[in-house]
Structure 1
Amino acid sequence: MAPARAAYQVKLLVDPDHVLDAEGLPTDAAAAALSLGAPGRVEVAQYVDDAGQSLNGQGWIVRIRRHDDENRIRLAYKARFEIEGDGSEPAAVRRVMDRARLHNFGAGDGNYTVQVNLSHTRATLDFTNKKCRPVPGLAPGELPGLDLSRALVLDRLPGKLAKWGAKPVGWAQSVTASSRLHGPVRQANYPGRMFDHALETQVSRLRTATGELTWFTEITAKAHTLREAVELRSGLMGKLRAEGWLLERDAFKTDLVLGR
């Protein structure tokens, strides 16, 4: 099996105290610098895993998401592989592609989208299987409860997770059956531009380890090649750092949500 062909994304954290007002809306200065428009999409999401994060511990992330008030939910089963270093070295990306092939993730598998994520100092390779299911009767902004969420996840469980080679047969089904819901997290997405490159500013409300609510603000931008992604990350970090907005840590919100 040949290595997969990936898309690329840059993910950077910015300081909400400097780019958001008290209501969690972008300040005029941030909106001008990032050329932000009105939120193009509002979404709510929750994650399914047990209390010990057994799925996440094996590199799997299971998410249930709903866009605006649509009458369906979107399931995502994501296998995540860590890339050595900050993701800027092509050889490191090739090595993680080879490692993924040992788990049957490679070219020709149309069931998964493939993406390399570059954050501040951390990089990942993600394979995501996406499915949609109609769920009538949900109120605006509502997600399925625990029992229905478990049933939906089990019903559409992809083969690679159902037969995860590192664990006994039935492991993923057993974890899902004893899972709990992590979240929900509501996110507003603002389209924008910088360096004549499209980006998105994502604003979420999260709980800290002590239970307090705080804003989480992330800037994401797509790229076609690794070189373009590395250059884009460098340029965005320089600009955001000059403004005093950049948070010098990695932007992986899922880890925070699952850890609460």
Structure 2
Amino acid sequence: MKLNSIRPRLVVVTGAGSGIGRATALRFARAGAYVVASDVDLTAAKATVDLIEAGRASAARLDVTDAEAWVAFATEVRVAHGVPDVLVNNAGIAVSGAFVDLTPADWDKQLAVNLFGVVHGCRTFGRQMIDAGKRGHIVNIASAAAFTPTPVMSAYSVSKAGVKMLTECLRLEFGPKGIGVSAICPGVINTNIGEHAELVGVDPELVARGKEFTRRLQAVAARLPFDPLAPDQVARAVQRAVRYDLAVVPVRPEAWLGYALLRIAPGVNRRMTQPFSIDLLQRWAARAPRPSAGPG
């Protein structure tokens, strides 16, 4: 691997109010960078900034689906702090369900955040980096779903596959200009994306029970000496991608398995998630504990 000459001093992170975005912001801040933590929830972004040494970060509200908001945000960052060394496009949501149950509005919502939010970020800050004539790096958070299909996450998988392909296209276009572009592809990570996910075509009570069961599993994992699903695993991968200018970085064993199978046994990769149908999810949710009335 070849070391990248970039030394991140100014880093912009979207979706920095929790999960992978917060872990990434904290990691870059600990490494000495000034971090601009953006999120659609300004309170959450400020909570992340509060965890960083005073004077080393600032919070901003950003709706990544709004192209004009991106332009205004990028201008504010440049005026206040300069052109970023690193942009991390992390903000994302999940809209799942049987394909025939997904409406055009469901697709619009999914792609607006996960794909076009990344497009807008790459375009606005990529332009800044190019115009400034400085080396830079853009990291796009994709998913193992970008290369391993599932029968109940078509919209989500398409959005993340688009992020991965966009990344690889931009590596060819931006690379000669001194700007690296990386796609991080995590497997299962303990974040709140599932808490806010939409599962179309499933009884809302079953969805609530499934989310409650997931919260309990996450709480158990968080109490272990080493959280096997910790978002910091992804944050470490982000730093590694910048340091070595890596193209695609799977995170966690299941992600590496899908990435490897895509190359050596694509038929197996296509079929290994086939059992996870919407019917299976409904049966699983039906067996999950009912949501508790209070702390349990």
TM-score by length of 1: 0.26
Structure with a larger share of its residues in helix: 2
Q: Which has the higher contact order (CA 8 A, sep 6+)?
A: 1
